[in-house]
Amino acid sequence: MLHYNVKTPVATPDRKARVELIAMRVRRTVRWLRERGTWAWFRAVTVVLLALPAVAQESLSPEAAPPTPPTLPVAATLPRDLTPWGMFKNADAIVQGVLIGLFIASIVTWTIWLAKTIEILAARRRVRAALSALARARSTAEGAEQLAGRPGEVQRFLDAAIEEWRMSAGAVEADGLKERIASRLERLEAGFARRITRGTGVLATIGATAPFVGLAGTVWGIMNSFIGISKSQTTNLAVVAPGIAEALLATALGLAAAIPAVVIYNVFARQITGYRALLGDASAEVLRMVSRDLDRPATAQAGSRRSAALSTAAE
For residue range 245-284, list pLDDT tens digits in order: 778 888 899 999 999 999 999 999 999 999 999 999 999 9
User: pTM of the prediction?
Assistant: 0.64
10 plus 136 within the same structural domain: no
Do 239 and 228 form a contact (C-beta atoms < 8 A)? Answer: yes
Give 238's contacts (C-beta < 8 A, 6+ positions apart): 72, 74, 76, 77, 78
In a domain, 72, yes or no: no
163 plus 17 within the same structural domain: no
Whole-angstrom distance, CA of residue 280 vs CA of residue 113 = 25
In a domain, 313, yes or no: no
Q: Among residues 67, 99, 122, which one ends one of the domains? A: 67
**For residue 225, which amino acid is it?**
S
112 plus 56 within the same structural domain: no
pLDDT tier for residue 175 given thresholds of 50, 70 and 90: confident
164 plus 197 within the same structural domain: yes
Q: Which comes out higher in pLDDT, residue 177 or 6? A: 177
The pLDDT assigned to 3 comes to 46
31 plus 153 within the same structural domain: no
Do 275 and 169 form a contact (C-beta atoms < 8 A)? Answer: no
Q: Is 226 exposed, middle or buried (0-12, 13-18, 19+ CB in 10 A)?
A: exposed
Whole-angstrom distance, CA of residue 189 vs CA of residue 284 = 11
Give 168's contacts (C-beta < 8 A, 6+ positions apart): 176, 177, 180
195 plus 50 within the same structural domain: no
102 plus 241 within the same structural domain: yes
Structurally, the chain folds into a number of domains equal to 2
- Cα–Cα–Cα angle for 89, 95, 96, nearest 5°? 45
In a domain, 295, yes or no: yes
Whole-angstrom distance, CA of residue 282 vs CA of residue 158 = 9
Instruction: Kindly tell me if the per-residue pLDDT of 173 is higher than 80.
Output: no
Q: Which comes out higher in pLDDT, residue 12 or 95? A: 95
In a domain, 29, yes or no: yes
> Percent of the chain having pLDDT more than 70?
70
226 plus 107 within the same structural domain: yes
CA within 13 Å, CB half, 18:
8
230 plus 164 within the same structural domain: yes
Q: Among residues 20, 37, 67, which one ends one of the domains? A: 67
**What is the pLDDT of the chain when averaged over all its residues?**
76
Instruction: Kindly tell me if the per-residue pLDDT of 211 is higher than 70.
Output: yes
245 plus 155 within the same structural domain: yes
Q: Among residues 34, 67, 100, which one ends one of the domains? A: 67
User: pLDDT, tens digit, for every residue of 39-79?
Assistant: 565 566 666 555 555 544 554 444 444 555 554 444 444 54
Q: Phi then psi for 91, rounded to 5 degrees? A: -75, 165
209 plus 236 within the same structural domain: yes
In a domain, 306, yes or no: no
User: pLDDT, tens digit, for every residue of 119-156?
Assistant: 999 999 999 998 888 888 888 888 888 887 778 888 89
The CA-atom distances, in angstroms, between 100 and each of 77, 217, 244, 275 are 26, 11, 18, 36
> Percent of the chain having pLDDT more than 90?
28
In a domain, 266, yes or no: yes
Do 282 and 153 form a contact (C-beta atoms < 8 A)? Answer: yes
In a domain, 73, yes or no: no
211: three-class secondary structure by DSSP:
helix
50 plus 100 within the same structural domain: no
Whole-angstrom distance, CA of residue 213 vs CA of residue 103 = 12
**Which range of residues forms the domain containing residue 37?**
1-67
Whole-angstrom distance, CA of residue 127 vs CA of residue 188 = 14
In a domain, 5, yes or no: yes
Report which DSSP code applies to 169. Answer: T
